[in-house]
Amino acid sequence: MTAGYDADVIRSARSLLFVPGNRPGRFPKAMAAQPDIVILDLEDAVAADEKATAREHIAEWFAAGRPGMVRINAADTPWHEADLELIRRHRVPVMLAKAESVEQIRHITDLAPGVSIIPLIETAAAVAAVGKLCTVEGVVRLAFGSIDFANQIGVDPDDRDALLLHRSMLVLGSAAAGLPAPIDGVTTSLTDSDAVTGDFTYARRLGMGAKLCIHPAQVAAVHAAATTTEADVQWAQKVIRSFDAANGSAAAVDGQMIDVPVVERARHILATAADR
């Protein structure tokens, strides 16, 4: 298995699990939880005096051909350039902490052309720049750093109303740029699967398509919440059959009008179900 992840895997991922870069013994455990993406973390999970050691552990992991993405430290930190050297050498996907500007992302692609980048949107400046960040070469998806963002603007990160606008801005910017649905932030309750399910179900209703995880126990809950229900599949199949029977004209299913946009939604549901 080659190091890193293909861009298509990142675009379709439902779960992205963080594991501290200074805890190499946890790397295989993170993989065993079967998230779609494992993120080897060099930022918040690693103390300043352990950054270099964490970088070495991650380099060894990639040198063995194992998969992973790396969350690197923000551009204004003293560890950023050393983190970028790791990315340059191993050509693995990168999540940029506290991404705020086009220039920060272009600096990564200048040093490591072709790598996939996820800007982590966790500051007011980043939310304000979402439209621009979505269009930079190398960006394959956005992620919402809801905890840090909520702290900056002075709201409770669990207050869904307080962050509704900002989540929606990521959804809108991603859709306008042709990017996949963005990745929602973490649920801080480590093993409460109901909390994870509730948070991700809500985020999906807004148009988000994946979730950051901070404990292996959260992964299964995310995947369950992302699963297309049998009722949705049956509805979609009925829509397609009715539309085909009407030879492409508007039709009715269960008293509701069925036209091209509704049919496209039905096809998306069936395609998503088939992929899982």
Q: Where are the domains of the chain?
A: 7-226, 230-275
Annotated binding site for Mg(2+): 122, 148
Terminus-to-terminus CA distance in the chain, angstroms? 21
Average pLDDT over residues 252-270: 77
pLDDT band at 2 (very low <50, low <70, confident <90, very high): very low
173-190 per-position pLDDT tens digit: 999 999 999 999 999 998
The better pLDDT of the pair 210, 191 is held by 210
User: Residue 134 in contact with residue 176, Cβ under 8 Å?
Assistant: yes
125-158 per-position pLDDT tens digit: 999 999 999 999 999 999 999 999 999 999 999 9
Annotated binding site for substrate: 71, 122
pLDDT-above-70 percentage for the chain: 96
> Range with the lowest mean pLDDT among 61-65, 101-105, 233-237?
233-237
Q: What pTM was computed for the model?
A: 0.88
Average pLDDT along the chain: 92
pLDDT of residue 77: 98
pLDDT of residue 1: 37
Annotated binding site: 71, 122, 148
207: left (phi over 0), alpha (psi -120 to 50) or beta: left
Which residue stretches of 91-159 are H helix?
Answer: 102-111, 124-128, 130-133, 146-153
User: Is 3.20.20.60 the CATH number for 7-226?
Assistant: yes
